[in-house]
C-alpha cells in the first residue's frame, strides 16, 4: 500500500506524512513544481511537466488496488477508484463508487453555474475541523485497506 498525493494545492501534506510515518507507508507527492515537504525517506517527490492533468495522469498511471489517493480533483478521484484505490478529499470526505457519480454531476453543474454567473468563487475555506476530520479519515482508510489486504491473502 502506498499513498499518492495530488500535491500542488493540497492543504494536508503534513498530515499525510504524519500518518504515513506511523504506518511506514511510501508517499508519492506529485506536482508541477518541487514540493516542500519533510526529508523523510518515505517521501517520493514526483515533478511532472507543466500542462493540464499531468499530475493526474501520473497518479492514475501508477496507483493500484489497495493504494490511497489524496485529491480534491473529482475526475482524478474517479480514475483512482476505477484502479481499485481508496480516495480521500483533503477535508476527509471519502470518494466511493456510490458517491463519485453524484460528485461528478455536481462538479459539472457548478462549472455551468459559474460560467453563467449564477454563482461565483470557490467553496468554503479550509478549517481546523477539516484538518482533524482528514487525519481521522486517512487513518480509517489505511486501516480498511490493511484489513482488505489481509482478507485477500
User: Domain residue spans in the chain?
Assistant: 2-152
How far, in whole angstroms, is CA 3 from its chain's centroid? Answer: 8
pLDDT digits (tens, 9 = 90+) for 13-41: 999 999 999 999 999 999 998 877 878 89
The answer to whether the pTM exceeds 0.95 is no
Query: What's the rounded mean pLDDT across residues 86-98?
Result: 89
Residue linked to cell 496507483: 63
pLDDT at residue number 117: 75
- Residues of the chain above pLDDT 90, percent: 54
Does position 110 have pLDDT exceeding 70, yes or no?
Answer: no
CATH architecture of structural domain 2-152: 3-Layer(aba) Sandwich (3.40)
Radius of gyration of the chain (CA): 16
* pLDDT confidence band for 64 (50 / 70 / 90): very high
Distance CA 26, CA 43 (A): 6
Amino acid at each position: 500500500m502506498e499513498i499518492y498525493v495530488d500535491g500542488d494545492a493540497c492543504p494536508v501534506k503534513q498530515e499525510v506524512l504524519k500518518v504515513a510515518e506511523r504506518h511506514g507507508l511510501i508517499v508519492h507527492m506529485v506536482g508541477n513544481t518541487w514540493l516542500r515537504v519533510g526529508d523523510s525517506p518515505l517521501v517520493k517527490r514526483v515533478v511532472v511537466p507543466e500542462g493540464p492533468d499531468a499530475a493526474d495522469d501520473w497518479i492514475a498511471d501508477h496507483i493500484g488496488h489497495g493504494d490511497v489517493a489524496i485529491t480534491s480533483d473529482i475526475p482524478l478521484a474517479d480514475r483512482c477508484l476505477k484502479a481499485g484505490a481508496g480516495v480521500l478529499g483533503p477535508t476527509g470526505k471519502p470518494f466511493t463508487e456510490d458517491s463519485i457519480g453524484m460528485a461528478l454531476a455536481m462538479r459539472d453543474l457548478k462549472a455551468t453555474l459559474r460560467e453563467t454567473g449564477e454563482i461565483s468563487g470557490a467553496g468554503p475555506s479550509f478549517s481546523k475541523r477539516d484538518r482533524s476530520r482528514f487525519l481521522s479519515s486517512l487513518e480509517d482508510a489505511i486501516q480498511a485497506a490493511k484489513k482488505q489486504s489481509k482478507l485477500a491473502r
